[in-house]
Amino acid sequence: MSLVRPAVAQEAAPLEVASGPLSERTLVFTGHTVQAPAQLQLFGFISRASGLTTTDLFTDDSGLVGAARLTFVADVALEPAKSRADTTSYAGEGTLRVYLVIGGGAAWEDRAAFSAGELLAEYDLSLQETLQRQAATVGVLVGDGALTQVTANTVTFGGTTYRFGAEGLVQRLRYTGALTPDTTSSTLAAVVTGHTDVTSREVTVVRLGQPSGAAATAPSGAETPAASACVLEPWLGNATAALALADQGLSDLDLSAIDSVEVDAVQSLAEQIDAAIATQRTSAPPVDAANANRLLVTALSTTSRGLRGIAEAAANGDEASFDQAAAALGDGQRLLSQAQVEIAGLAANCPAG
């Protein structure tokens, strides 16, 4: 049982979550973007929040969207895009809201479900986004923004009351992803993964000899560290986007039997994965990421080979070849899982340059 209430309505000070000291990673999320020339919508679910457990965040141990209790939607009004060669840049302002849906039930095909819960937190969002395109529906998307929290409500999990963030908290939002086949000439569609980190917050300073009630608040600007980027970028962003592309693409396909295979869709995903492989092979990964990059390229190559074999077998009605290709795809998926663990570890401990 949980209940969202404004923080001011609580008698005792709740525990603060989705917050922390400077550079604290507060949220990890998976989402989809749907982007028209003048408007972007980012929606998804939160898979990790500092101070909360997996049991708090999901209704079961699957970690899937349908079990997620915390969802979010961001709406951003975009300025005219700027293009140069194969790169397009976007910028805009908007709002990101986090919702509590205690029973879960969100689904990617129903955008409205991600804003159907109780409002838990609201942020002003300033966003910069870059798209590097290799083909009409093949490209890597990188988002970088600033979140300033304007609403911080409370929620109860397991008898403990938490406040989700703090008003005035400033965080960096970053996500990477890949275009999906749903992209058209007028609308960009992508699958993304991302996170937020604390960049500025007010700190209460208690002066010696004064009661705690006389505490002064240090200006948040003094608490903002110099902007620094992870030394694994841009490799890390490309690697994360490649994993998201493969994971979401495979989840959208029915490969359970040869008769259920949509050959064009399978071939399209293989082509997108091949483009991601080319990016990883030419990205000159940092020394610390060399092993993870080799594992990722092997995983993607094995997955692509399995997909192409499945498409060819389905087109020819060849059951034996289908079984062999499905086995290769299974190997690719196991390697992708290993690569995901390696890359997640690098991302969580990425040093700044």
Mean pLDDT across 34-42: 96
Per-residue DSSP letter, 69: S
Choose the most confident range, by mean pLDDT, from 77-81, 215-219, 331-335: 77-81
Mean pLDDT across 277-298: 86
Summarised one tens digit per residue, pLDDT across range 242-285 is 888 888 788 888 999 999 999 998 998 898 898 888 888 877 78
- Of 13-17, 223-227, 305-309, 344-348, least confident by mean pLDDT is 223-227
Mean pLDDT across 338-351: 76
pLDDT higher at 247 or 172? 172
Phi, psi for residue 97 in degrees, rounded to 5: -125, 140
pLDDT at 217 over 70: no
Per-residue DSSP letter, 346: H
Structure tokens, 170: 């400033």
Under the banding of pLDDT at 50, 70 and 90, the label for residue 11 is low
Place of tokens 């550079």: 23
CB atoms near residue 65 (< 10 Å): 22
What pLDDT is attached to residue 337? 85
Cis peptide before 37 (omega within 30 of 0): no
Choose the most confident range, by mean pLDDT, from 111-115, 199-203, 339-343: 111-115
What pLDDT is attached to residue 207? 45
Place of tokens 């990890």: 28
What pLDDT is attached to residue 202? 64
Residue 114 has, within 13 A of its CA and on its CB side, a CA count of 25
- Of 103-117, 150-164, 316-330, 334-348, least confident by mean pLDDT is 334-348
Structure tokens, 173: 């939002």
pLDDT at 161 over 60: yes
What pLDDT is attached to residue 352? 52
What pLDDT is attached to residue 287? 87
- Of 174-183, 216-225, 230-239, 243-252, least confident by mean pLDDT is 216-225
Average pLDDT, the chain: 85
Q: Report H helices in the chain.
A: 54-57, 235-251, 263-281, 290-316, 319-348
Task: State how far Cα 63 lies from the chain centre.
Answer: 14
What pLDDT is attached to residue 203? 52
What pLDDT is attached to residue 21? 83
The rounded percent of the chain whose pLDDT value lies above 70 is: 87
Pick left, alpha or beta for residue 18 (phi over 0 → left; psi -120 to 50 → alpha; otherwise beta).
left
Phi, psi for residue 224 in degrees, rounded to 5: -85, 120
What pLDDT is attached to residue 138? 85
What is the per-residue burial (b if ≥16 Cβ within 10 Å, else e) of 231-269?
ebebbbbbbbbbbbbbbbbbeebebeebeebeeebbbbb
Under the banding of pLDDT at 50, 70 and 90, the label for residue 84 is confident
Per DSSP, the residues of 183-225 read: --SS-EEEEEEEEEEEEE--EEEPPTTS-GGG-EEEPGGGGPP
- Of 173-187, 197-211, 257-271, least confident by mean pLDDT is 197-211
Residue 41 has, within 13 A of its CA and on its CB side, a CA count of 11
Residues in the chain: 353
pLDDT at 216 over 70: no
Task: State how far Cα 147 lies from the chain centre.
Answer: 15
What pLDDT is attached to residue 219? 44
